[in-house]
Amino acid sequence: MQQTDALFYFRAREGKLTHPRPEFQDREHLPTIIQQILAINERQSRLYMEARPERRQHWCTYPTAFACIKCMDGRVHLPSITGLPMGLVKPFRAMGGRFEVWWPAFRKRMHNWVATVQRKYHLPHIPDCPVSCGVLVTYHYSASDPDGARHLGCRGWRYDTAAGRAHAERLARDIHDAFMGQAIPFVVGVETDSRSLIFHGTEGDVSGMDCVGKSEEEVRWNIVRAFPGVDTQVAHDLVPFLTGNARRVADQLTRPRETEALGHQERVIAIGHGFDYWISEENLAVVVDDADPNLDAPIAAAAAIVAENVAARPVTEETLLLASVPYSVPGIEWNLSVMSAQGLCRYALEYLPKEFVHVFNGGRLRVLIGVTNEETKLLEPIAYR
């Protein structure tokens, strides 16, 4: 499929499709980076499905449902930072975590998530008491590069940590006001050098670094101290985030990463949503969420990051534009998801900044369009170039 028309063409087949499509059955002819992405997805989909019992066991003990609002930066990945099972936290990604409650798509997704949680899930042995929803509103920064001279912080905020935190605090207030207590926001800093989470409470902070070597009860008391008045169950259910993060931080202290590993290493621009669960190879992809009503800016930022990463690498090393949207059931929803992924890919290719096009010339930029099965997180490839 070398021509643009072929890239974006598909037949609905009355809403049914046998997967994988013929051109993806024999993968030896596919570009290397697409082979790698499909292999990663299959592995992560398997892990996601295998983690079901672990997720259920976790929710039996810690029933609060959590979502995380975060930057498109590939380093901000909660399963890697906390060691918690994949799929435990509902992800929302945007450049710099710059979501706004008024964004129609974001508002709808957040509201649907809260409504679904409260409709379907209840506290153990208390049938009429729905579980709470916690929202981690994050920003990230590099302690070793406070002024952004080495580009280790958040590019979405031009390395301005104060601005990133101020937005997170405002968004947290908006979520609190909009959802009238049904969604409980927590402002969380992510220090990417040490991989430490810092929960900012009204009476102080509690971080993974602070919790190294502490018992679960000590961690819980630290949470209660920082967040007086927080629901007892929610405070209890935050403990695994901090104890898991403390273990990761302790490991980081004993085995520090090279400076190069602290910064951006992404080589995939992923546009759409629903793939954060499986693009879990840390620092693999920069994610552009299609909830943003102005996609030009995050596309430009993502292109700049990836172009900078690949510019110094061998010209044989490929990069990828991946467009994918999730679906739950075959038929109309599947067709609409395919069309959405196709449209997002067209848009991204059209708006790739001209100053970065030369980096992607010569066949370095590959394109993959697909849809992600919501239940299994398996990517169903539709077309490539």
For residues 333 and 185, state if they share a domain: no
- Alpha-carbon distance of 70 to 78, in angstroms, equals 10
pLDDT reported for residue 253: 82
DSSP string, 293-352: S--HHHHHHHHHHHHHHHHTS-TT--EEEEEEEEESSTTHHHHHHHHHHHHHHHHHHHHS
For residues 73 and 96, state if they share a domain: yes
The 10 Å Cβ neighbour count of residue 29 is: 8
- The answer to whether the predicted template modeling score (pTM) of the entire model surpasses 0.85 is yes
For residues 177 and 90, state if they share a domain: yes
Query: What CATH number does the domain containing 296 carry?
Result: 3.30.1330.140
| Residue numbers in the chain where pLDDT is lower than 50 | 1-19, 260, 262
pLDDT reported for residue 307: 84
- Which of 231, 259, 287 corresponds to the end of one domain? 259
Torsion from C-alpha of 12, 18, 23, 28, nearest 10 degrees: 150
For residues 311 and 281, state if they share a domain: yes
pLDDT reported for residue 258: 59
Tokens 């301005």, located at residue: 160
For residues 209 and 110, state if they share a domain: yes
For residues 242 and 142, state if they share a domain: yes
For residues 255 and 269, state if they share a domain: no
Is 107 inside a domain boundary? yes
Burial (CB count within 10 angstroms: exposed 0-12, middle 13-18, buried 19+), residue 265? middle
Is 78 inside a domain boundary? yes
Is 188 inside a domain boundary? yes
For residues 44 and 136, state if they share a domain: no
pLDDT reported for residue 351: 83
For residues 243 and 154, state if they share a domain: yes
pLDDT reported for residue 65: 95
pLDDT reported for residue 22: 60
- Which of 241, 259, 277 corresponds to the end of one domain? 259
pLDDT reported for residue 4: 43
For residues 44 and 73, state if they share a domain: no
pLDDT reported for residue 163: 96
For residues 91 and 179, state if they share a domain: yes
pLDDT reported for residue 364: 82
Number of domains in the chain: 2
Query: What CATH number does the domain containing 95 carry?
Result: 3.40.1050
Is 57 inside a domain boundary? no
pLDDT reported for residue 6: 43
Range of the domain at 211: 63-259
The tokens describing 101, both together, are 């409650």
Q: If you compute the radius of gyration of the chain from its CA atoms, what whole number of angstroms results?
A: 21
- Which of 225, 240, 259 corresponds to the end of one domain? 259
Is 54 inside a domain boundary? no
pLDDT reported for residue 76: 83
For residues 26 and 113, state if they share a domain: no
Tokens 């929202």, located at residue: 135
Tokens 């999730």, located at residue: 326
- Alpha-carbon distance of 94 to 295, in angstroms, equals 10
pLDDT reported for residue 9: 41
Is 95 inside a domain boundary? yes
